[in-house]
Amino acid sequence: MQITRLATPTHETVLRVHDASIGLTGFIAVHSTKLGPAAGGLRMRPYNSEDAALTDALRLAEGMTYKNAAAGLPLGGGKAVIMGDAAQKTSAHLLTFARAINTLEGDYWTAEDMGMSPADMALLATETKYVAGLPDGPHASGDPSPITARGIFNSIRVTAKHRFGSEDLTGRTVAVQGLGHVGTYLCEFLHTAGAKLIVADIDAKRVAALAAKYDAQTAGPDDILTVNADILAPCAIGAILNVDSIAKLNVAAVCGGANNQLATAEDGARLHTRGILYAPDFVANAGGIINVATEVLATGNRAAYVDEKLSAVESTLDRIFARAKTMDCSPSDVAVAIVDEMLADKAA
């Protein structure tokens, strides 16, 4: 295995991990350890080039710095990628990569991301201790989705308070795009709170099942972005809030679980200009990383730790919306500025 340290002005440490004998090329990007060890998942997917894989690792690692800091976790941001089809993954790929993670001596903790399973994390753990998302063991944190959904539900209530003057969701219509792990749990929370649902997924069976269970209206996967509702909750894919879709939105607020909902940073301002209140995704969907943090930090009493951090996320979002109103700007810009201040304070 060859490990090459790449110099980047934006990230603390970036490693290229290569082993031609087993067809492995990947990158580990540590964006920041100012607040604690960098934590973020390991992703395996085909990339067109090494540049594309490196760019993805750098972008995702930076995103984790913001997500972990906004959640009030003593963790920095990092991410790792392996180039290739996850269906072609071998034990040799994972064990070699685990040895590369060890060279960072705890500056980077990995966990599941696209193309990885709890079983893969268990295999990594035979070679490195810097891994979370394990299927079992004393600190295993299990499926993060229910906690992620709880955090989004709480964030929707905070969003409703700022947009409509009340957290009460009774009779409010929420359009949910994506009925996977997170979307399904979120629908349950919303239905229990008395909200009306409009649901969409590319999987028609999921749509039919959820519609029947919660007496929800349905919409096509693209139409969900134009339906008339109070709040849109994107829980499927990223970059769905862009110059075209924002012009057609028919909601007063957006708050959901999908990562990287804004196609570009300017799309936060576009939403603001249209008077649509946007809950920054990396704040609203932090429940998942909070759950993983209980494992990385071996917090013990997981439920209490999760409750405390989820409640802090509500306060942070409240503060973000209040500041955005005062400054007449996008909550996403405020969220980024707040984390930048936290990092600057730590450096001072």
Site of interaction with ligand NAD (CB under 6 A): 144-145, 148, 177-183, 200-203, 206, 221, 235-237, 257-259, 285, 288
79 is an active site residue: yes
* Paired tokens of 284: 């609203």
Closer residue to ligand NAD, CB minimum distance, 236 or 334: 236
> What separation, in Å, do the N-terminal and C-terminal C-alpha atoms of the chain show?
38
Q: Minimum distance from CB of 198 to ligand NAD (Å)?
A: 12
| 110 vs 134: CA distance, rounded Å | 11
Query: Shortest CA distance to 44 belongs to which of 100, 87, 98?
Result: 87
Closer residue to ligand NAD, CB minimum distance, 26 or 183: 183
Contact predicate 296/273, CB 8 Å: no
Q: Minimum distance from CB of 272 to ligand NAD (Å)?
A: 22
Q: State which residue has the least CB distance to ligand NAD.
A: 180
Q: Which entry of 34, 67, 79, 89 is annotated as an active-site residue?
A: 79
Q: Minimum distance from CB of 17 to ligand NAD (Å)?
A: 24
Closer residue to ligand NAD, CB minimum distance, 36 or 178: 178
Q: Minimum distance from CB of 149 to ligand NAD (Å)?
A: 8
Question: Please, what is the Cα angle at 53 between 50 and 57, to 5 degrees?
Answer: 135
Whether the CA torsion 306, 309, 314, 317 is positive or negative: it is negative
Closer residue to ligand NAD, CB minimum distance, 100 or 258: 258
Q: β-strand 38-39 against 42-45: which pairing, if any?
A: unpaired
* Single-letter amino acid code for the residue at 177: Q
Q: Minimum distance from CB of 204 to ligand NAD (Å)?
A: 10
- 344, with CB counted inside 10 A (0-12, 13-18, 19+), is exposed
* Paired tokens of 96: 């070699």
Query: Shortest CA distance to 94 belongs to which of 54, 346, 86?
Result: 86
Q: Which residues, including other chains, have CB under 8 Å from residue 119's CB and lie 6 or more apart? A: 135
Which residues are annotated as catalytic?
Answer: 79
